[in-house]
Structure 1
């Protein structure tokens, strides 16, 4: 779909035609001429490459493609209206006034505001958008006038979004993502098995799990595009909340997150004490606490769930061994084990997937039932496309292989 300067206005008019039942009725309600509304709908149809209405003497009926778009547009408008209402929560405003504010938002205002919030300043936003800083500042001032609220911190040499402005940008990003989803659903309705899936992968997740799920998806949807982004839990959660990614795959947090996100378990992944094949302890049938204390350890940084378990284990040894490397990189942990006599705590799936062929050995050491739950984190109001649902189905199928 083409991204043009009047997209929001055209989507608003499209919704008005849907609600009014015809272009003439919608034009009267919106205070626009009928030719102007017809032109807007025509350009919207051209941008998506579909026919949205069947026009007749009795009015305009949505086509199948029109119904697909309207569902997403209604979700977009609902999210924008809800966030505007919450932004103005301290002000008594009737729903009609909130709706009026929303329909006065422009593409330039929204695009510039999201860029300011993402990049941290108006000057950085201007560079990202490829427009002049005065144009960004002008859009920011117009947005504040439209919503009647202060959204920015203004200093001598910079303008940045305040906390209310950042949250407003996040909600606007999610609302606009509905139209991206609509474009993919319309392509699917035309028989084009395309689509985009953006997945955040936590660093300690065995990558072959996601790789196998991706390959299964591409066999059924060969023209789909999968984006896999590795990062910290905090960074990926921010991207998820802004709509930059669709889901996070990895160890779920304890206590479980709630509210704006949903966590769904895929499989239980118990922890085991691991060494390389050929390590002296690998040949011992009985491992004592003194044995574990005699070697250096590799561990994640403090604060990570696995580090908490390791610290608890090491505190019970006769002497605390040295932690020679702290890293959240699974590849580096594996490399340290393969190249030294270090010990670490891994999950069962990590040993099975990362180094197949018995290069790593799980020692017969009790870990007090410690483990993790590998799962999915998604937004609570996320409506997945067919391709995204297909990827999640393949991931669930692959996860069954990890259940003993």
Structure 2
């Protein structure tokens, strides 16, 4: 479903007024136009959203669920539209806002048009119409770049979250109809990719064999930005302390700590419990700066300091394992990540304790996130899997 904002406003007016006639008056449109808007929404949804029989009135169960999502989506969008220009609440269209998001992301009309599959003049015209209604420029040309203003950034973020909520609405209607729609997007931090997510996704796939899933990896800051914009539904991995931004919620699943590992024939395997001076004679593979693992590792080094070590900063378990097997490097990684490699005989554990390296692993979601049935089911499975670790 890609309903127009105007049709969605009519639908909410029907819920508020109780009748299509009342909604038409509230929206200042004709009764036939209001009826056509509701008919279009129901045709796209594939089900009735309001009762049309004389002996029943109000929304259906599907309409009630849809209305909740639509109200959340438009409340978020309208607050930002009103800040930019109150008139935009009545005039801004979905296509104009989609063009705004694309230009904000690409900082170029041509690239934005390519992303949307539209002509460059169409995208330029949509943004120009928004600027005309707003009575202010939303972009400043800087060389070949279209630099978004602060108002454009705020409005693009709100529009993206609005569209994400509407995708959730479509997914819920599809679930009520007995089929899948949309997708679940998960930001996977290193530990989750090798431990909790494979088990949880395997169980989820047995329950929902056709539900599209998209797993993203990358720097935590990039995934956090995607989460806040509504591009990512949840992040699974090491939790941050303090909370990175106020509008997210962190939920622990289990606790893990760090260990030091080497290849089975490494010289330090003959030492027993090596001290820092002995460890410093060998090169290291360590977590990237800014991660909880790296902070724990540097606490372990204390005054010794990381600068006295020959280090490779790496978040890839595959690269770390292969380099450890081929060399005398020392690896610092999660105990749970190391467990499978140790069990297979690929790596060996050093008799070294890293105090205060325990850290919570869990979910990060938006504070006001309302999961669909499928998303809630996956969250429940993640909690169940986490309890076994």
On whether the aligned pair clears a TM of 0.5, the verdict is yes
**Cα distance, 1:102 vs structure 2:** 1.5
Query: Per-residue CA shift, 1:14-59, capped at 9, x if unaligned?
Result: 1111111111111122221111111111111111111111124588
Are 1:298 and 2:295 an aligned pair?
A: no
Task: State which drifts further: 326-335 or 112-121.
Answer: 326-335
- Structure-to-structure mapping, 1:330-349, within 5 angstroms: 330-349=317-336
Counterpart for residue 36 of structure 2:
39
Contact 1:208 1:354 in 2 (8 A): no
Aligned with 2:285: secondary structure?
strand
Aligned with 1:54: secondary structure?
coil
Choose the corresponding residue for 1:362, options 349, 372, 383.
349
Counterpart for residue 228 of structure 2:
241
**Cα distance, 1:236 vs structure 2:** 0.7
Structure 2 unaligned regions, length at least 5: none
CA distance in 1, matches of 2:17, 2:177: 27
Contact 1:273 1:365 in 2 (8 A): yes
CA distance in 2, matches of 1:370, 1:362: 16
Aligned with 2:257: secondary structure?
strand
**Runs of 4+ displaced beyond 6 Å:** none
Contact 1:268 1:372 in 2 (8 A): yes
Task: State which drifts further: 265-274 or 307-316.
Answer: 307-316
CA distance in 1, matches of 2:220, 2:373: 26
Counterpart for residue 222 of structure 1:
209
Alpha carbons of structure 1 residues 29 and 309: separation in structure 2 relative to 1, 3 Å: closer
- Structure-to-structure mapping, 1:1-400, within 5 angstroms: 1=1, 3=2, 7-57=4-54, 60-87=57-84, 98=86, 101-155=88-142, 157-192=144-179, 196-314=183-301, 316=303, 322-353=309-340, 356-400=343-387
CA distance in 2, matches of 1:354, 1:180: 40
Task: State which drifts further: 26-35 or 275-284.
Answer: 275-284
Contact 1:269 1:371 in 2 (8 A): yes
CA distance in 1, matches of 2:181, 2:60: 21
Aligned with 2:67: secondary structure?
helix
Query: Per-residue CA shift, 1:58-102, capped at 9, x if unaligned?
Result: 8842111111111111111111122234446xxxxxxxxx4x632
Aligned with 1:150: secondary structure?
coil
Structure 1 unaligned regions, length at least 5: 89-97
**Cα distance, 1:295 vs structure 2:** 1.6
Task: State which drifts further: 362-371 or 245-254.
Answer: 362-371
Query: Per-residue CA shift, 1:257-310, capped at 9, x if unaligned?
Result: 241111112121111122222323234433233321222111233343333333
Contact 1:200 1:230 in 2 (8 A): yes
Give the RMSD, CA atoms, in angstroms. 2.4
CA distance in 1, matches of 2:191, 2:64: 42
Task: State which drifts further: 254-263 or 201-210.
Answer: 201-210
Alpha carbons of structure 1 residues 72 and 315: separation in structure 2 relative to 1, 3 Å: closer
Under a length normalisation based on structure 2, what TM-score does the superposition of the two structures give? Answer: 0.92
Under a length normalisation based on structure 1, what TM-score does the superposition of the two structures give? Answer: 0.88
CA distance in 2, matches of 1:101, 1:217: 42
Task: State which drifts further: 284-293 or 242-251.
Answer: 284-293
CA distance in 2, matches of 1:173, 1:132: 21
